[in-house]
Amino acid sequence: NAGVTQTPKFQVLKTGQSMTLQCAQDMNHNSMYWYRQDPGMGLRLIYYSASEGTTDKGEVPNGYNVSRLNKREFSLRLESAAPSQTSVYFCASSEAGWDYEQYFGPGTRLTVT
Amino acid sequence: QKEVEQNSGPLSVPEGAIASLNCTYSDRGSQSFFWYRQYSGKSPELIMSIYSNGDKEDGRFTAQLNKASQYVSLLIRDSQPSDSATYLCAVNSGGGADGLTFGKGTHLIIQP
């Protein structure tokens, strides 16, 4: 089992460009999450999907959109990248909901210039 | 705003000693608690989860939870240099957008 996979590993964008971060899990988990991690700020939730077909905003959703494509895949889209979105992005999944352990992907390091 | 507080460190512990990492949380209704280890440049890796008051042991790791004091800790016995990492405490306060709140982490250094 690969667990949670993310692509790409690294990305550099210019301000205003768009991109989609991909995430997939092979653990048959129902819930998936997108976090960003910034120095001194800790991990912050961007969006989550409690189950296939549902998505909800987290703590810092502005500037992002998500799609839960199927049970395995959950993508994060930046429509018009800004330097404030320079961060490390992690996808995670759990069996079902907040009481369950979350497992993280390897992350995407994004720089917006 | 629900808060999870950790001493940022660095916490320096000699090899073979017990490392003690602490975490306090603000929401008395919190229900589940997690410890993650994160090496520099890597993703968080789950170490322990704990849901009830008391101790939970897994190998060299022991998680301790005291809901009355709103306090959760992680003990690492026989510390090894490979335990040097940042340890993140995460608290579930009942779902929704606030669902899982992470502390900023404690940087642990095990000195050979």
pLDDT level of residue B96 (50, 70, 90 thresholds) = low
Q: And the tokens for B6?
A: 């950790």
Tens digit of each residue's pLDDT (9 = 90 or more) over A48-73: 999 999 999 998 999 999 999 999 99
- Average pLDDT (B57-80) is 97
Q: Are residues B44 and A97, on separate chains, in Cβ contact within 8 Å?
A: no
Reference B47, options B26, B33, B31; nearest CA is: B33
Amino acid B98: pLDDT: 52
- Average pLDDT (A33-61) is 92
- Average pLDDT (B24-40) is 94
Nearest residue, CB atoms, B44 vs list A44, A98, A104: A104
Query: Taking CA A59 as the corner, what is the angle to CA A51 and CA B47, rounded to the nearest 5 degrees?
Result: 70
Q: Which residue has the tokens 């900023």?
A: B104
* Residues in CB range of A85: below 8 A, 6 or more apart: A63, A78, A110, A112
Residue B8 predicted with pLDDT over 80: yes
How far apart, in whole angstroms, are the C-alpha atoms of residue B51 and residue A38? 28
How far apart, in whole angstroms, are the C-alpha atoms of residue A26 and residue B87? 26
Q: Which residue has the tokens 């929704």?
A: B96
Amino acid A105: pLDDT: 98
Residue B42 predicted with pLDDT over 90: yes
Amino acid A41: pLDDT: 84
Q: Are residues B100 and A59, on separate chains, in Cβ contact within 8 Å?
A: no
Q: Answer whether A2's CB lies under 8 Å from A105's CB.
A: no
Nearest residue, CB atoms, A98 vs list B44, B88, B92: B92
- Average pLDDT (A89-110) is 91
- Average pLDDT (B52-78) is 97
- Per the rule left: phi > 0, alpha: psi between -120 and 50, beta: everything else, A84 is alpha
Radius of gyration of chain B (CA): 13
Higher pLDDT, A90 or B93: A90
pLDDT level of residue B97 (50, 70, 90 thresholds) = low
Chain B partners within 8 Å of A43 (Cβ): 44, 88, 90, 102
Q: Are residues B100 and A104, on separate chains, in Cβ contact within 8 Å?
A: no
Amino acid A97: pLDDT: 72
How far apart, in whole angstroms, are the C-alpha atoms of residue B76 and residue B61? 5
pLDDT level of residue A100 (50, 70, 90 thresholds) = confident
- Per the rule left: phi > 0, alpha: psi between -120 and 50, beta: everything else, B39 is beta
- In this structure, of A98-102, B26-30, B55-59, B84-88, the range with the lowest mean pLDDT score is A98-102
- DSSP-derived 3-state class of residue A84: helix
